[in-house]
Amino acid sequence: MRSLIAGTGSYAPEKIVTNADLEKLVDTNDQWIVERTGIRERHVVADDQATSDLALEASRRALDAAGLDAKDVEMIVVGTVTPDYPFPSVGAVLQGKLGNRKAFAFDVSAACAGSLYALSVADRFVATGAVKNALVVGADALTRITDWTDRNTCILFGDGAGAMVLKPTDDPQRGIRAVRLHTDGSLVPILLQPGGGSRDPISEKVVREKSHYVKMNGREVFKVAVRSLEESCREVLADEKLTPGDVTWVIAHQANKRILDATLHRLEIPESKCWMNLEKYGNTSAASVPMTLDEANRAGWLKPGDTVLMMAIGGGMAWGASVVRW
């Protein structure tokens, strides 16, 4: 038995911040941002919204698409690094908001790779028959931990949520085929939120030094991202005895258009096979992969039997790839 993605959903908050808006906040310009990243605008949470609110909307849409009643969900896994509270988990908050009392629920912290990690965990539970279904969510409000005076980072991030419902299938032609995950903890310093955790709890000093915001060495992240994504894609394709030429569609974490272009170029996969939406949303962290998957799915891109290559990378560094037969 394998697990099958039986429904997808996504949600982006209403408020939009354009590159022109950012020009008023930091020394940047639309042309630089578009040329270096491909991003034109991003959605940002309202003052009264938190990550679980985004997750709830995306989950409702995915459950609706899968024809599954929220009360019948047996497992909830949320990839996020911007939980509503340090604890309990967004998964627990989401379970409560869905009116579900049956599912065990928890979060997975793997930054922008969070939804791929969450998918891999839930896949094991569904494929082994331990649960009859699972709700997998990637949701982040990264703009809550973004320094709007730091032009290195504030141009990149946006908020959103994506959800996937997993069900078991006996169809040998369909389902999640292979997942490869990797972590390199020696790279923690190149992308992290240094303050506000147990190492440096929130304090006047943390706020003064702005260490509760995302810090990033963009050039290093860029290099690691291209190399790691290519390697894990080749690895997961080899697991399935496939080549890049066998891939029907690519669903990739929308970090930066140049990272995606370089990775696709190395894999010799045409750009036309990769659904891109970072122009509208920026980098939405763990939400990025399931939001992209949902857009491609609702646009009618994905047909039963298609070979979908999914890839993501984020702070840790944590990355991975998956082959899914739709």
CB neighbourhood size of 14 (10 A): 9
Q: Does 233 bind ligand ACO (CB under 6 A)?
A: no
Q: Does 283 bind ligand ACO (CB under 6 A)?
A: yes
Active-site residue flag, 253 = yes
The pairing of beta strand 249-252 with beta strand 307-314:
parallel
Q: Does 96 bind ligand ACO (CB under 6 A)?
A: no
Contact segment (CB under 6 A) with ligand ACO among 151-159, 193-201, 261-269, 273-281 equals 151-159
- One of 122, 313, 318, 324 touching ligand ACO (CB under 6 A): 313
Please give the Cα distance from 260 to 39 (Å, whole number).
13
CA-derived radius of gyration, the chain = 19
- One of 158, 314, 316, 320 touching ligand ACO (CB under 6 A): 314
Q: Does 255 bind ligand ACO (CB under 6 A)?
A: yes
Burial of 301 (0-12, 13-18, 19+ CB in 10 A): middle
Q: Among 154, 253, 274, 277, which one carries the catalytic annotation?
A: 253
Q: Does 284 bind ligand ACO (CB under 6 A)?
A: no
- One of 23, 124, 147, 152 touching ligand ACO (CB under 6 A): 152
Phi, psi dihedrals of residue 299, rounded to the nearest 5° = -80, -5
The pairing of beta strand 75-79 with beta strand 134-141:
parallel
Closest CA to 283 of 133, 114, 129: 114
Return the percent helix, strand and coil in the chain, to nearest 5. 40, 25, 35
Active-site residue flag, 112 = yes
Amino acid at 18: T
Contact segment (CB under 6 A) with ligand ACO among 170-178, 216-224, 268-276, 296-304 equals 216-224
Please give the Cα distance from 313 to 4 (Å, whole number).
23
Q: By the 8 A CB rule, do 260 and 274 touch?
A: yes
- One of 15, 16, 25, 32 touching ligand ACO (CB under 6 A): 32
Q: Does 183 bind ligand ACO (CB under 6 A)?
A: no
Contact segment (CB under 6 A) with ligand ACO among 127-135, 179-187, 255-263, 268-276 equals 255-263
Q: Does 222 bind ligand ACO (CB under 6 A)?
A: yes
Q: Does 307 bind ligand ACO (CB under 6 A)?
A: no
Active site members:
112, 253, 283
- Contact positions vs ligand ACO (CB under 6 A): 28, 32, 36-37, 112, 151-152, 155-156, 191, 216, 218-219, 221-222, 225, 253, 255-256, 259, 283, 313-314
